[in-house]
Amino acid sequence: MSALGKGLGALIPSKGKSNNARDYFSAHTFSDDETPSGQQVITVPIDKVSVNPWQPRTNFDHDKLNELAESIKKHGIIQPLVVTKSGDTWQLIAGERRLKAAQLLNMTEVPVIIKEVSDRDKLELSIIENIQRHDLNCLEEAGSYKRLMEEFGLSQEDIAKQVSKSPSTIANMLRVLQLPIVIKEALAANKITFSHAKIILSYPGKTEQIKIFKKILHSDLTVKQLDELAHRTVLKDKNEKKQDPILVAYEDKLAKNLGAKVSIKKRGERGQIVIDFYSHEELKNLLNKLQE
């Protein structure tokens, strides 16, 4: 399997020395009569352009689309769409936001560059274009990486090189796909951030993850506050694991006799016995048992 992005230079060659697709998108815009690297920019009927089935983005911000439509109304489509021929129509490779904005304006034609590419190239270029413009949320980005790995056999290292991110970042992105659905929905809706999600993943099980997620929403925890809470939880767990096994046995015996949670806190020869209760009735029952 070839490395990710090997064919991107041929897919949309850039001017000068750079063959990096990210550099291409950040450094180039085109007027309608410009021909990048000798490529012809032509206009085609908008109703003959179909969306890219490999588009990784599933959510489009309507306000931003309207802003783009207003810009296109004033200045036209500065950067052509990239398409591939499909029968008597053209399938979009890159530029779905521009296509949707043009449709909002009821435009009849759009400027395009026609390229012949593979399905993998379509997915690669769509991911790179969207990441360059920060248009993907972390779940969409993670889903795209997963497709590249599962459907095209690419490694995390290959993907990391192409999108100029570290392999650990790619790994963390993929891990968010393992979160409970309710947390992923909140992530997609921007109720929590990717940084929140990474800390939530440090909790061992889905029950613990949902519990801390609810605390984030209820208390509006910042990433810093959540990180501090997670560290305190880890320290508490470590301390509990180091607890004297004899004291643990005493706690269990008292808990069974009293029918309540019991904690023994010992420092040197001194300490405390803490008995939990959750209602006045439970307190009365505990007092009766202690007096027997």
Q: How far is residue 157's CA from residue 162's CA, in Å, rounded to a whole number?
A: 9
CA–CA distance from 177 to each of 182, 197, 260 (Å)?
12, 10, 39
**Active-site position among 34, 67, 70, 96:** 96
To the query of whether residue 157 is one of the catalytic residues in this protein, the response is no
Nearest to 78 by CA among 127, 36, 22, 23: 36
Concatenated DSSP letters of 192-235: S-HHHHHHHTTSSSHHHHHHHHHHHHHHT--HHHHHHHHHHHHH
Phi then psi for 82, rounded to 5 degrees?
-110, 125
> 173 and 138 in contact (C-beta within 8 Å)?
yes
Nearest to 163 by CA among 14, 52, 20: 20
What is the number of other CB atoms lying within 10 angstroms of the CB of residue 122? Answer: 22
* DSSP tag of 67: H
Rg (CA), the chain: 29
Q: How far is residue 130's CA from residue 198's CA, in Å, rounded to a whole number?
A: 22
Residues serving a catalytic function are: 96
